[in-house]
Amino acid sequence: MTEPDLIPVPLTADHPEGTLTLDARTALDAGPGTEGTARWLRAVLGAATGLSLPDGTGPGAIRLRTSPGTEEEYGPEGYRLTVDGDGVLIDGGGPAGLFWGAQTLRQLLGPDAYRRAPLRPGADWELPYTTVTDRPRFGWRGLLLDVSRHFMPKEDVLRYLDLMAAHKLNVFHFHLTDDQGWRVQIRRYPKLTEDGAWRARSKWGHRASPLWDDTPHGGYYTQDDLREIVAYAADRHITVVPEIDIPGHSQAAIAAYPWLGNTDAVDTGALTVWDTWGVNPNVLAPTEEVLRFYEHVLEEVLEIFPSTFVHVGGDECPKDQWKASPAAQARIQELGVGDEDGLQSWFIRHFDRWLADRGRRLIGWDEILEGGLADGAAVSSWRGYGGGIAAAEAGHDVVMCPEQQVYLDHRQDGGEDEPVPIGFVRTLADVHRFEPVPPGLSEEAARHVLGTQANVWTEVMENRGRVDYQVFPRLVAFAEVAWSALPAPDARDTEGFLRRMETHYRRLDALGVAYRPPTGPTPWQRRPGLLGRPIEGAPPNV
């Protein structure tokens, strides 16, 4: 038996000589509180293996437990997994830990355990004898998916949740609104999706490209779709954090309801959903009516998403229209906030209090630090580590997602044939050497690093295959960084990780993931002649 090449690498793993055979008689012995994982095992592993895993006990059974001892030692997301002559025991620190243990069991079964039907119906399955103990390094192991720039149909979102679960990622940051499309149904404001969820055409390539795709683009999730997504995620111990952008990245909303914009500075009635990319000048007007509108939106959002954190964006809000708008200038005086940065802060503070009053917490991009951050607010540090360091040292919680390291829209190789090359070269190995906690952070501040997140902005990813290409294989390296207790970057066994990837590529093949092959893009993954925006001279890792 070869090493099972577990990814993310567990805290400890031992593989004594021997194998356990699973066959049609193999029973599932699900202890109290383990029903969710039992259901998942039957549905997913049952489909792949053809084993029905009937209820039962006895020799060779797969036993599922959660125990206080495991929780004490490894936390609620930790687990112990044993495969020996007696059968399989997965003992979680809690239901989440048990589920992550079941994901490890799937890896032990081999790549064909990632298929949806058995290749050889009726065949037995071999599991290597194994003892694993494991727990995550971070509680926030996130993936942001931008479904505004390009809509991702619900079925594909569910597939991404499965892909996250297979890599023990547990926060799905759902970027639902932006200039290029509003994707969440709001009952009170139907035009947000009637008008705001589609555009007549799309820039084809980077914004400097002369090309257009004249296919109308759009789509949105009904509230029931979103409830389904949230429940599907919860079954996989993934929290969905919705993002509703204020006060910038709002052109789609303004196109639907022109009074949301700065009507005395620009003819907002002439705006349509934006069809190109970049930072957009059309931002929300700083009025009480706009606050009420977004409270109403968020009321419906809170009904759908139980997540403690709600993301309100707060990034890239140009101040030109507020400078040009007499009404915005009068507001600055009336509110006594000093200047346009004060208005931005006023927006964020309002929703920080509003969310806190409802038992939730605001999270926003690091620009929300400008003008002072409200108590309890957390920061997604994207413009490098700096915002995250400042926020953490000031006692705010932080999710580290620096664009220089973990923006998966950035190209993953310097070659000529990378499709629509954007940004820095960040290879699979580079991502494996990413360190979410920068050196020099005080111990106390480091405790405010909730975790880390990879962000997928989809301007140049027009379909699922393009998203797969950018996300994989790098999300695999990211998952190991987020989960495993890896040493400092220069001491990391990245070569060993790349060797384990040889097995993992076969898992991704079985899952049908259109990853970037190590040899480079296939012809149908290339986009010859399509302008990107490569940035030379990527900054160092930290």
* Catalytic positions: 316
Whether 105 and 90 have beta carbons less than 8 Å apart is answered as yes
Non-local CB neighbours of 93 within 8 Å, separated by 6+ positions: 66, 67, 70, 71, 72, 73, 74, 75, 76, 77, 78, 79, 135
Shortest distance (Å) from residue 366 CB to ligand ACM: 8
Q: Which is nearer to ligand ACM, 314 or 438 (CB)?
A: 314
- CA 71 to CA 240: how far, in whole Å? 24
- How many residues touch ligand ACM (CB under 6 A)? 4
Q: Which is nearer to ligand ACM, 526 or 533 (CB)?
A: 533
Residue span 462-491 as binding mask against ligand ACM, x where in contact by CB under 6 A, dash where not: ------------------------------
Residue 264 binds ligand ACM, judged by CB under 6 A: no
CA atoms within 13 A on the CB side of 456: 29
Residue 370 binds ligand ACM, judged by CB under 6 A: no
Residue 315 binds ligand ACM, judged by CB under 6 A: yes
The answer to whether the Cα torsion of 16, 17, 22, 25 is positive or negative is negative
Q: Which is nearer to ligand ACM, 204 or 407 (CB)?
A: 407
- CA 502 to CA 443: how far, in whole Å? 37
Residue 300 binds ligand ACM, judged by CB under 6 A: no
Q: Which is nearer to ligand ACM, 365 or 478 (CB)?
A: 365
- CA 297 to CA 291: how far, in whole Å? 10
Contact with ligand ACM (CB under 6 A): which of 84, 264, 275, 316? 316
Contact with ligand ACM (CB under 6 A): which of 365, 434, 478, 515? 365
- CA 22 to CA 13: how far, in whole Å? 21
Shortest distance (Å) from residue 315 CB to ligand ACM: 4
Shortest distance (Å) from residue 357 CB to ligand ACM: 26
- CA 371 to CA 382: how far, in whole Å? 18
Whether 42 and 53 have beta carbons less than 8 Å apart is answered as yes
| CA 161 vs CA 169, 170, 398: distances in Å | 9, 9, 23
Shortest distance (Å) from residue 157 CB to ligand ACM: 20
Q: Which is nearer to ligand ACM, 228 or 316 (CB)?
A: 316
Q: Which is nearer to ligand ACM, 93 or 248 (CB)?
A: 248
Shortest distance (Å) from residue 314 CB to ligand ACM: 9
Shortest distance (Å) from residue 51 CB to ligand ACM: 44
Cis peptide before 8 (omega within 30 of 0): yes
- Tokens 């995620």 belong to 233
Contact with ligand ACM (CB under 6 A): which of 351, 382, 472, 478? 382
Assign 92 to helix, strand or coil. Answer: strand
Chain residues binding ligand ACM by CB under 6 A are 315-316, 365, 382
